[in-house]
Amino acid sequence: MADPLMRNAASLHQAGRLAEAGQLYQQILRANPRDSDAIYALGIIHLQSGRLEDAQSFLAETLRIRPRFPEALCSRGIALMQLRRREEALACFDQAVAIMPNFVEAWSSRATALLEMNRLEEALSAFDRVLALDPKHAISWNNRGNTFVAMRRLEEAVESFDKALALKPDLEIAQNNRMLALLELKRVPRIPAHAVRALFDDYSSYYDTAMLDALSYRAPQHLRALLERVSPGAAPPLHILDLGCGTGLSGEAFKDLAEGGRLDGIDLSAKMIDEARKRSIYTDFIVDDFEEALAGLDRSYDLAIGADALIYSGDLAPALAGVVRILKPGGLFLFTLEKRNGEGWEQTTANRFRHGESYIRSAAAGAGFELLDMTECPLRSESREPVVGFAVALKKPLA
């Protein structure tokens, strides 16, 4: 009877129907409490379900019946590692590779345990051992890169992440790790979207207080004053797009011009947009990275604003190309940037970007904009010192 049940349980398990598979394995154990295959399978189901203590307990019971079961040793080690019982996990991996010297997953898990224990030289040697056994083991290339990051050998880290991505171009963890390493090396054209999202998700509940009271944030007011200089006749109803709208501070500065028109906001932080919704001044929201959103947006606008939205990009070309695409002929783009005293752009220690005046002029022209105005102004304060920037007005030509 156990064989058909085991086949059915295994089929359900393989199909991801974990609860049903678990019930059949339990039925097998009621008939034979020492069926190590069923006990092992229950351990794996608990591991896959995140019930780590139960998982390691079932796998330990498996090993009491079958001590030389390398897969059970490796799986128990993984559960113990997630429980932060790393010394016990390492012992499991050591036993697994002693039984099966070419067991790649056990070697890889052992190396990862050493990395988490900050035994970095040992971890590096262990990842090299894994990759000697299987040069195409992408996750080990990624974790080898993480070891180099921990050792502050960032160039070598990037090389390892590159190897991982050459094998698995869609390996998101390696993409993110590579970007963070390049970020530390100051070799990125923009701050990764996920890093900006995490920053502002955390910031959302106290953003307004921090920016207005602690940092004397004035970028939206500078942009409104800039509009009055370059387009003194601006009047509702305008269609306005607020890039990086955040909690809506910029929207507040321009909402009167959208009466009878529309005021839309784009921000990659859903939590910031939740705060902006409370103002009841926006027509619609897009939760997305604005560079990506602009490429697919099918509306056109009279005015786009970006108060401190572009300071997370060094290369302005993608954003400017997106904005010029969605503006009506004669439409305006008003935005702020931090000022660089020199050419080009540079990444700051706060992981933002500063831009030089000549670079801004060149980027605007390259996107097809006419530069109307560029005024130096204090955007906010940091460490009680003003952050000097530019308020920039660009116009899309009429033809």
- Identify the CATH number of the domain in which residue 110 sits: 1.25.40.10
Read off the pLDDT of residues 316-360 as tens digits, 9 standing for 90 and up. Answer: 999 999 999 999 999 999 999 999 999 999 999 888 999 999 999
Per-residue pLDDT at 1: 40
User: Are 34 and 178 within one domain?
Assistant: yes
Per-residue pLDDT at 241: 98
User: Are 126 and 271 within one domain?
Assistant: no
User: Are 257 and 386 within one domain?
Assistant: yes
Read off the pLDDT of residues 278-297 as tens digits, 9 standing for 90 and up. Answer: 999 999 999 999 999 999 99
Omega prior to 329 cis, within 30 of 0: no
Read off the pLDDT of residues 130-188 as tens digits, 9 standing for 90 and up. Answer: 999 999 999 999 999 999 999 999 999 999 999 999 999 999 999 989 988 998 898 88
Domain that holds residue 300: 197-395
pLDDT band at 104 (very low <50, low <70, confident <90, very high): very high
Q: Is the pLDDT confidence value at 2 over 70?
A: no
Average pLDDT, the chain: 95
Per-residue pLDDT at 384: 85
* Beta carbons within 8 Å of 327's beta carbon, 6+ residues apart: 300, 301, 302, 304, 333, 396
Q: Which of 151, 171, 189 is the last residue of a domain?
A: 189
Total residue length of the chain: 399
3-state secondary structure (DSSP) of residue 308: coil
Per-residue pLDDT at 19: 92
Burial class (CB in 10 A: 0-12, 13-18, 19+), 132: exposed
Read off the pLDDT of residues 264-277 as tens digits, 9 standing for 90 and up. Answer: 999 999 999 999 99
User: Are 42 and 139 within one domain?
Assistant: yes
What counts of helices (H) and strands (E) characterise the chain?
Answer: 19, 9
User: Are 309 and 375 within one domain?
Assistant: yes
Per-residue pLDDT at 351: 87
Q: Which residues pair with 243 in a beta bridge?
A: 266
User: Are 107 and 156 within one domain?
Assistant: yes
Read off the pLDDT of residues 199-217 as tens digits, 9 standing for 90 and up. Answer: 899 988 899 998 998 899 9
User: Are 315 and 290 within one domain?
Assistant: yes
Q: Which of 137, 158, 189 is the last residue of a domain?
A: 189
pLDDT band at 74 (very low <50, low <70, confident <90, very high): very high
User: Are 254 and 164 within one domain?
Assistant: no
User: Are 348 and 218 within one domain?
Assistant: yes
User: Are 133 and 205 within one domain?
Assistant: no
Rg (CA), the chain: 28
Domain count, the chain: 2
Instruction: Evaluate whether 175 touches 165 at the Cβ level (below 8 Å).
Output: yes
CATH number of the structural domain spanning residue 323: 3.40.50.150
User: Are 18 and 154 within one domain?
Assistant: yes
User: Are 329 and 286 within one domain?
Assistant: yes
Q: Which of 139, 157, 189 is the last residue of a domain?
A: 189
Burial class (CB in 10 A: 0-12, 13-18, 19+), 399: exposed
Separation CA 153–CA 295 (nearest Å): 37
Read off the pLDDT of residues 41-60 as tens digits, 9 standing for 90 and up. Answer: 999 999 999 999 999 999 99
